[in-house]
Chain A
């Protein structure tokens, strides 16, 4: 980088700094900058949650498939025993044992399917976090547009619409550990409600 370019960048930076201060936007931009790390941790939260959900689903599918394979193998084995000697297959308890195994396996498979279904809750949780990050980006965009409007020639200024008020809800707790204002799990919710007489 030549000294001239370096000097030009320095001059532009100073002008931007002065412009932001002069327009009273410096604090707002500073606030938004402070939210960037929060946005980073929110995106990390999404990556973690989706990763965990995928891992959970794959593990449960593996286990369910193992149960399924077991039933398939046992069905073939019992089938051949019945073809060979139906009376002995019943009398020796092979058929009854098989039915017991099938019942146990289907119960286990049902549990795996329920867990696979529950793992899909990441869609709701990450969706809320993504919405918050989008709001942050939109806020930054709005501030930049305001900066453009306020620095534009007077006859080019168009008044920006006032956004409709929305109540603020915090959404999923990204880093609940060490934060006394949020609960870290259902047991804390139950304790809090119990302390209130509920």
Chain B
């Protein structure tokens, strides 16, 4: 079941989007799409079905916090877990992400094991694994 989940990877750097997608694929999650900022991500989320969002924070047009807020106030999207993967290492940012409803928080640079563990933990908590 978990392998059929559809991921949306949001990051303004194409390199990072590829890395996260490849890592998800190596972990068995083969269904993934990409968005380069929050605006594009929100459009994709509203026009297609996704089960999981992996999002950067520092992005142009709409940053990760704004995207998280939009997702959580949208009745049709708020059930989707959002895992923040970011270079923002300030404690206040981590606390803010948690308070706004993020399912998890990973600081860059990260390892393959960290991403695998966090995704697995979130899916288990939600009963999707």
Contacts and interface: CB of A to CB of B under 8 A. Distances in A.
A118 B92 contact: no
Interface stretch (A8-16, A33-41, A166-174): A166-174
Size class of the contact patch on chain B: 20 to 34
A198 interface: yes
Among A171, A172, A183, A189, chain B packs the most CB atoms within 10 A around the CB of: A189
B11 A167 contact: no
B87 A124 contact: yes
A124 B11 contact: yes
A57 to B, nearest CB: 13
Interface string A154-195: 000000000000010111110010000111111001001100
A123 interface: yes
Contacts of A97: none
B112 interface: yes
Nearest to B92: A181
B15 A123 contact: yes
A120 interface: yes
B19 interface: yes
A1 interface: no
B18 to A, nearest CB: 8
Interface in B76-118: 87-95, 98, 104-112, 114
A64 B105 CA distance: 32
Contact of B88 (A123, A127, A170, A193): A170
Among B11, B98, B107, chain A packs the most CB atoms within 10 A around the CB of: B107
Interface of B: 11, 13, 15-16, 18-19, 22-23, 26, 57-58, 63, 87-95, 98, 104-112, 114
Interface of A: 114, 117-118, 120-121, 123-125, 127-128, 167, 169-173, 176, 181-186, 189, 192-193, 196, 198
